[in-house]
Amino acid sequence: MKLPIRTLQPSEFEEFMRFLERAYGHSRGFFQRAYPHLYQPTPEKCSTYYVIKKEGKILSHIGLYPLRIVTAGVELPVGGIGGVATLPAARGHGHMTRLSRHVIGEMRAQAYPLSWLDGDRQRYNAFGWELAASFYQLTFSRRSLSWGQATPTPIEEVLPGEAVEHISRFMPHPQRRPELEDQLRKADLRVWVSAAGYVIAQGQDRQRIKLVELVSASGNEIGLISAVLAWNFGEQLTWELSTWDTAQLARLMPYAADWKARAQGMYRINELTQLLQPAEHFLQERAAGVRDFALTLGIREHDRLTATTIALQAGVLQIRAGRHAAQYMELSPITAARLILGGPPIPELSSIPGGLRALLPLPVYVPPLDYV
């Protein structure tokens, strides 16, 4: 008889924290320090923790945390996956497989067309998550800023909790972070504010500063970067940006000492039609001058086959659920993620209409402050 999967009760929260700490080998209180917006003993939060228990003991867990992202004007609900763990003594009994598939079903039911996690590719490929959607990591040094003649802008360091109102004023789409105050209680965050923006960094390394988020309403990001480096008497600063932050990147590149690009994390497409339809305006703008096409994409998962038809006729884009085109192509969740969100070529790429390839990838990016 299979052990039931259920959500946690608030009365089990302390036991749950000890379970996660033991499974990951972390110190006591780590998860509440690192992710205070996720781990709280409330009914709302406990409804996001899915567990398997035996004889009153938690054996395995997977967390499903709601995210809302806005990338290049495309707003999407995303199912963030975190805290995936099984007690060492309970491993090898299929608990992770059952929990992963259960949560995939929950994401479908809760209308999360997309999922994101940070984890091992081989481990999560088995359940349809794939490395996709790239970001840039820019490095700035004292030398590169001096060479570019960057001028620091006036800043002041404040406690993160003191900056909630200021950050909300300048943060794009503040409604997508209803728990900003809790997010700013993450361990080791530092915040600087200026007249037209803010900077959030993580860690105490003053020589090699790691930015989490930076916003400048005046477009003077480099002035804030220069100011934070000077404030810390530092040598180097790194900042990860979405590849879709094109205006920011164009302003910053003359001052960068180095840049790298890589996949931001692992994504899973749960409902392709629901993923594409909110981006229809974005895709339509890219369709100018693109040759007409019609293709039905099928995604075969472990328990079902779904189909989405994407067609461009006389310059008008249409996205519909179901099979409505003569040309049909079937993908796995892994190859679908790379095709739709951006990644290394898939084996079927040569058979994809050139018109569709011109519209992709879809813009997605999970900001570091929102990691789960």
pLDDT in tens, 291-302: 999 999 999 999
Q: Which domain holds residue 311?
A: 271-359
Measured at the CA of 36, the angle between CA 108 and CA 125, to 5 degrees, comes to: 40
| Residue the block writes with tokens 């924290």 | 17
Q: Which residues pair with 241 in a beta bridge?
A: 136
Rounded CA separation 169/159 (Å): 17
**Six token digits for residue 371:** 């990691």
**329 falls within a domain:** yes
**Six token digits for residue 93:** 């009994």
Residue 226's identity, in one-letter code, is S
**Six token digits for residue 219:** 């477009």
Whether residues 302 and 183 share a domain: the answer is no
Whether residues 124 and 149 share a domain: the answer is no
Gyration radius of the chain over CA positions: 22
Whether residues 139 and 255 share a domain: the answer is yes
At 93, give phi and psi (nearest 5°). Answer: -115, 10
**pTM for this structure?**
0.96
* Domains contained in the chain, number: 3
pLDDT for the residue 80? 99
Residues 123/103, Cβ–Cβ less than 8 Å: no
Whether residues 247 and 282 share a domain: the answer is no
pLDDT for the residue 1? 82
**Six token digits for residue 118:** 């940070």
Q: Which residues of the chain have pLDDT under 70?
A: none
pLDDT in tens, 241-295: 999 999 999 999 999 999 999 999 999 999 999 999 999 999 999 999 999 999 9
Whole-Å CA distances, 117 to 49, 106, 342: 15, 16, 16
pLDDT for the residue 3? 97
Q: Which residues pair with 312 in a beta bridge?
A: 293, 317
**327 falls within a domain:** yes
At 29, give phi and psi (nearest 5°). Answer: 85, 5
